[in-house]
Amino acid sequence: MLRLLRYPLLISVLVFGLFNCAGSKKSKTVATDAKLSAQGKELFTTNCVSCHALEHEEIGPRLGGVTSLLSEKELIDFVKNPNKAIEAGNQRAVALTRRYKMIMPPFDFLTNDEIKSILAYIKDESEQHHIQPLVVKAEANTAVAERLAAPITKAGLKIETEDFITIPSSSEKMPKTRIANMRPHPSADGTLFVSDQRGIIHRIENNQTNVFLDIRPLIENYVNEPGLGTGLGSFAFHPDYQNNGLIYITHTEAFKGKRADYEFPDSIKVALQWVVSEWKINDVKSKVFEGKRRELIRINVPSVVHGTQDIGFVPGIGKSDPDYGMLYIGTGDGGSTIAKHPELCHKLGSLLGTIIRIDPAGNNSKNGSYGIPTDNPFVNNADPATYKEIYAYGFRNPHRLYWDMTNGKTLFSAEVGESNFEEVNVIKKGGDYGWNVQEGNYGISYKDLKNVYKLPDANKFVKPFALYDHVDGNAISGGAVYEGQLEALKHKYIFGDIVSGRIFYVPVDKYLSPSPVHELTIMQGSKETNLVEMSGSKRVDLRIEYDLFSKQMYIMTKSDGKIRKVTKAYFDKIP
């Protein structure tokens, strides 16, 4: 997941495997004891396992044995300021950065003692299991990463924002919040709802925020860590909420043996279960949820990343439309590819790496809890293993879904990539988007997910609508096509990079004409700024949200829990 939110564990990527080979001659200075190591294991699980293991490569390099390379002080300094080693030209650091095509933001919110405990755990495990440090071969000219996509450029588009509201902290530790999604009240009365992955949905009304629903005490085995995307993944109001009071929520649970609607062989460990539930409020006018829930679907995943992180209904359509009331559910590959089980995804016999389309009011699914629409693309597939819920497949992590209703119904999905590309996809019914044999417009092998090659058949899979290279960012944050009052933003899909907080756009027309990605600039008065400065954190954790009723666009940052409203947009000459 370092990709999904790349910071939590590329921490280790670079932190623990970084310096040049001369470092391996240093004495082992990381002290350990049982209590310290136990605390370190907990912190490692929370902050690191999304991207790293001790004995094998995942999104980032393996970390076992790294404490034998450098002193405790050097490792702590790196965790607090990883860029310093990279910028200094350290051969090992540069070589790893080139291979993994990302740099860890500083983990300056961890105390020295917390970092020491993580190092103690790594040292203990390495010694007990005789794990040797990763050998990194420094190559010539490693300082320059190969660019595989056109560079992101600025086209003079600038925006200004104003503070809208700060969501109450859900933890004493960073990030203070894990705000992820915003939805307007279906009545279009201006009320907004914002979810925190730790398990809370906040109601925002008249510049005040209150808890609408806290799912934590209501769900047995609920968990929101480890993993950057775990917890309360997403939520959506039924289009007829005013009458039926139905809300749909995705969340994660620790695996305690519950049967799932998608399972895999017992030889593969279940890391988590993703669950989609229907919640029915007793009184739609109530400002606090009281009601009941029922489970729709449960999915086993082999890793803690790339889960069911967005759901939604096609907005603004009438009840006569075949899409009315159909719930779209995006689920990533569950980390199956980086967990060395590529066979679990990119096929119609799996719900991993898919966008499915179901009728919550129906009952013709295998579990009888929902319906499978008769116009789904694979309904008539004769293979009994086919999940006929599938609308499109071949995704690594369809992190955000958005419908542009200006020219028909265009469904955009932001795809968090592996090591080379971040994609914006236009979702086609029955489309195959290629993961885990394609990333961007290139081929990829599950045996080496860091390098790509030219495809012999460039038209085998649906191509991205837009993409950017990891030279320009780490993990995409999907957004929306703006159609509000700010003329300069109109007809543009606005999105950004989760880690860096850079905000991008591509023009959207009725032909879906290909277009390069551009970056817009945030202004405060006459001064250029950015979300790193505005949030006070180098781990921005960006989300972009849009109120389809008011046509207002919002920028959310987990690190400070702030929501900012975009108030101005204009083109200016670039100096």
Predicted TM-score (pTM) of the model is 0.89
Q: Are 516 and 153 in contact (CB under 8 A)?
A: yes
Name the residue ranges covered by the structural domains of the chain.
7-128, 153-571
Alpha carbons 486 and 480: distance in angstroms, whole number: 14
Which one, of 110, 98, 89, 105, lies nearest residue 44 by Cα?
110
Strands 476-482 and 492-497: antiparallel
**Domain 153-571 sits in CATH 2.120.10.30:** yes
What residues contact 546, with CB distance under 8 A and at least 6 apart? 402, 479, 480, 482, 494, 552, 553, 554
Alpha carbons 169 and 13: distance in angstroms, whole number: 29
pLDDT of residue 31: 64
Structure token pair of residue 310: 């967005």
Element at 116 (helix H, strand E): helix 112-128
Residue 207 Cα to chain centre, angstroms: 28
Q: Are 509 and 490 in contact (CB under 8 A)?
A: no
To which residue do tokens 């109109």 refer? 490
Alpha carbons 25 and 390: distance in angstroms, whole number: 54
Calculate the alpha carbon distances from 428 to 155, 201, 242, 307 in Å. Answer: 30, 31, 30, 21
Element at 37 (helix H, strand E): helix 34-47
Alpha carbons 260 and 297: distance in angstroms, whole number: 8
- How does pLDDT run along the chain (575 residues), one tens digit per residue? 333 333 333 444 444 444 444 344 444 456 668 888 888 787 777 777 666 778 777 667 788 888 888 788 888 887 777 777 667 766 676 677 777 766 666 777 788 888 888 888 888 888 888 888 887 766 544 445 678 999 999 999 999 999 999 999 998 877 889 999 999 999 999 999 999 999 999 999 999 999 999 999 999 999 998 877 899 999 999 999 999 999 999 999 999 999 999 999 999 999 999 999 999 999 999 999 999 999 999 999 999 999 999 999 999 999 999 999 999 999 999 999 998 999 999 999 999 999 999 999 999 999 999 999 999 999 999 999 999 999 999 999 999 999 999 989 999 999 999 989 999 999 999 999 999 999 999 999 998 898 999 988 878 999 999 999 999 998 999 999 999 999 999 999 999 999 899 999 999 999 999 889 999 999 998 899 999 999 988 889 999 999 999 999 999 999 899 999 999 999 986 44
Computed on alpha carbons and rounded to an integer, the radius of gyration of the chain in Å comes to 23
Calculate the alpha carbon distances from 254 to 221, 300, 369, 416 in Å. Answer: 5, 10, 22, 24
Alpha carbons 426 and 466: distance in angstroms, whole number: 9
pLDDT of residue 105: 66
Phi, then psi, of 281 in degrees rounded to 5: -80, 145
Residue type, position 419, single letter: S
pLDDT of residue 199: 98
Alpha carbons 148 and 135: distance in angstroms, whole number: 27
pLDDT of residue 458: 78
To which residue do tokens 């119609």 refer? 348
pLDDT of residue 334: 96
pLDDT of residue 17: 43
In the CATH hierarchy, which fold is given to the domain comprising 7-128? Cytochrome Bc1 Complex; Chain D, domain 2 (1.10.760)
Phi, then psi, of 329 in degrees rounded to 5: -130, 120
